[in-house]
Amino acid sequence: METSVVDVPDRGRFEVLLGDRVVGLASYHVEGGTMALPHTEVDPSVGGRGIGKVLVAGVLAAARERGLYVLPYCSFVRHYIQQHPEELDLVAEEERPHFGLETADR
């Protein structure tokens, strides 16, 4: 079954779909040139399939496409960025220490 990530701006979130079923979400708020990411969740019934990673990758790709920095308040998003240092540039350098990401690029 195909997995896709879609932006649902009127609900302030990205949704990850498995086929046509919403199985996860990442809430966001954009202000100025920054996208705050406070929360992600994935349906436990589809846990362990990497769907959360697909969701975060899609959210970060959208932020990059829109020229936005991200504020990874969500611990899952922070962990993803730590595991994918090529995404670290999406967090403004001055914000990285706040999120424990000051050494993620080493």
Residue 36 sits in which domain range? 3-99
The C-alpha atoms of residue 48 and residue 63 are separated, in whole angstroms, by: 25
3-state secondary structure of 24: strand
The answer to the question of residue 76 being in a domain is: yes
The C-alpha atoms of residue 55 and residue 14 are separated, in whole angstroms, by: 8
pTM of the model: 0.93
Maximal CA-CA distance, the chain? 41
Banded model confidence at residue 77, pLDDT cuts 50, 70, 90: very high
R_g over Cα of the chain? 13
CA distances from 28 to 14, 37, 106 (A): 8, 5, 28
The answer to the question of residue 58 being in a domain is: yes
Banded model confidence at residue 102, pLDDT cuts 50, 70, 90: confident
Predicted confidence (pLDDT) per residue in 4-37, tens digit: 999 999 999 999 999 999 999 999 999 999 999 9
Count: domains in the chain: 1
